Amino acid sequence: MRKHLQKFIYCLLVLGWVFPASAQQIPQVPREIAFADLRILINEQARREIQLDVDALYRNPTYFRIKAERVALYMPYVERELKNVGVPEDFKYLVIQESSLIPDAVSTSNAVGFWQFKQGTAEEVFLRVDAQVDERKNIVSSSRGAALYVKKHNNSFDNWMCALVSYQMGLGGARAYFGTQFNGKKVIEIDRNSHWYFKKFLAHKVAFEGRWQMFASSDAYLEETRIQGPVTLKALASRLGVTEEHLKEYNKWASKGSIPGDKPYSVFYIRQGGVPAVPAVRRGPSTSSEPVERVVTVATSAEAFPKITGNQQQASKPNQIKVNELDGIQAAANMPQEALARQVGLKERRLRKINDLDKGEKIKEGQYYYTEPKKGAAEIKEHIVKPGETLWSIAQKYGMKVASLKAKNRIREDEALRPGMILNLQDHRRRNEDIRYVSASELKQLLESSSQAIQPIVEPAQEEVYKPSPTTPSQIRKTVTHTVDSGETLFRLSQRYGVAVDDIKKWNNLKDNTIRVGQRLTIYQ
């Protein structure tokens, strides 16, 4: 009898420790919530209904903590992609509602991944879904796709609540359900008859807003690296210092354990020690008394451009891909402008104007070209100039006009560009404002990370062995044979390959700066 009594008292103590503590932690649904640009007023009956869902999310503390750990890992990338597309950050709670941030979650209706896309809908927002790649399981690709989807629907409603519900019902279903009663409306009243999907979303927002950090105790974070294949996860693992199994666990989108070569993909792995600090940037040649600015995701964001979406397998055919959300095409071969213009159904002069090309300048194999006018600004604020870049290559990278890039930075010629220079991509540099630069060490770090993240990776069995030339310095260097195209100069080649003009002249026994179209030059990188 005493034994049973002791056991009963012990259970009461455990229950008294768990549930009151949890009850104190459970947030309460307020009568008014800010969502996107809306003011949501909740009546008492609806508030109790939403509170039941909040309570259910907290019912199992262990399960909530596990979910919070996943939220802490993935949410920075969800927030970034929503912001890049122009969707309110509040939509980040929708991914928790849809999949609990389980990458390979599958619903009863065969919706897959973080944002629970069916295959047809995934392809509508330019996600690749086939036997080799399923971008529905990639947090960056799928979040960008979800953002594009709801933004497109919001264009029909001018109301983010209706756009959110359309994520579950589809655009046609939401139009039939809502009609036009909420179009442009900024104050929404929620009651027992309001759509269940939005009330469940509000429960997730209340449950997780500003709270998952309290439960996510790990100091691990998710590192993103942009990789263009072809390369296997096995070959990549040794380079990143992790196991193949680890890469497979956090990159379930690579269904066959390999990364194809059609475009750069975001590859993820776990790092320990907390998210590293953002590097500091100084204003131009500086003194120790100058203020230090912070550059937020300049380097990381830049590596995501140009953004290529659509049918990358047919990128060299018209109307198959978008480049930075603009219609575009990838040149299948070197050709005259006239040939590409005819292929995409534009007049040569129009193609030249859209892409800021000089008359007679050749189309280059592998380069992306736009078939609709570029924009006056980029999606991100800044770009750090790397060796070999030109005003044209930078503007083309972000889908903005060369004239706009020049005007925003008060720069007219390529000769004014310097590695490490920070160019404005959105705002104009004020008159008499100095151009900013990153430090030499930060530029070196940026170039090293870019080399690892963007350049195609060669598997060990396919690696080339480069031998030093007697005319080069003693270290091993890669030899490139460059055929001169129309409009190219020694200066442009020096910028492209990151070498000095005098070195190119010395390597090729040139007496002056004159080069001719078709001339083959040897470059040591």
Residue 495 pLDDT grade (very low, low, confident, very high; cuts 50, 70, 90): low
Highest mean pLDDT among 156-160, 301-305, 380-384: 156-160
More confident residue, 440 or 386: 386
- pLDDT for res 470: 39
> Alpha helix (H) ranges present in 209-280?
212-215, 233-240, 244-250
Give the range among 262-271, 295-304, 473-482 with minimum mean pLDDT. Answer: 295-304
Decide the pairing of beta strands 382-384 and 436-437.
unpaired
Strand partners, 117: 112
Asked if residues 101 and 143 have their Cβ atoms less than 8 Å apart, the reply is no
The reported pTM is 0.53
- In angstroms, rounded to a whole number, what is the distance separating the alpha carbons of residues 22 and 58? 7
pLDDT tens-digit series, residues 24-49: 478 999 999 999 999 999 999 999 99
More confident residue, 307 or 212: 307
Over 50: is that where the pLDDT of 460 sits?
A: no
Phi-psi region of 7 (alpha: psi -120 to 50; beta: other; left: phi over 0): alpha
- pLDDT for res 438: 78
Which domains, ranges and CATH numbers included, belong to the chain?
24-215 (1.10.530), 221-276 (3.10.350), 299-441 (3.10.350.10), 464-524 (3.10.350.10)
Asked if residues 359 and 323 have their Cβ atoms less than 8 Å apart, the reply is no
- In angstroms, rounded to a whole number, what is the distance separating the alpha carbons of residues 118 and 132? 17
Over 60: is that where the pLDDT of 455 sits?
A: no
Residues in the chain: 525
pLDDT tens-digit series, residues 101-125: 999 999 988 999 999 999 989 988 8
Residue 450 pLDDT grade (very low, low, confident, very high; cuts 50, 70, 90): low
- pLDDT for res 241: 85
Across residues 322-337, what is the average pLDDT? 90
- In angstroms, rounded to a whole number, what is the distance separating the alpha carbons of residues 55 and 207? 8
More confident residue, 54 or 467: 54
Across residues 398-427, what is the average pLDDT? 88
- pLDDT for res 19: 40
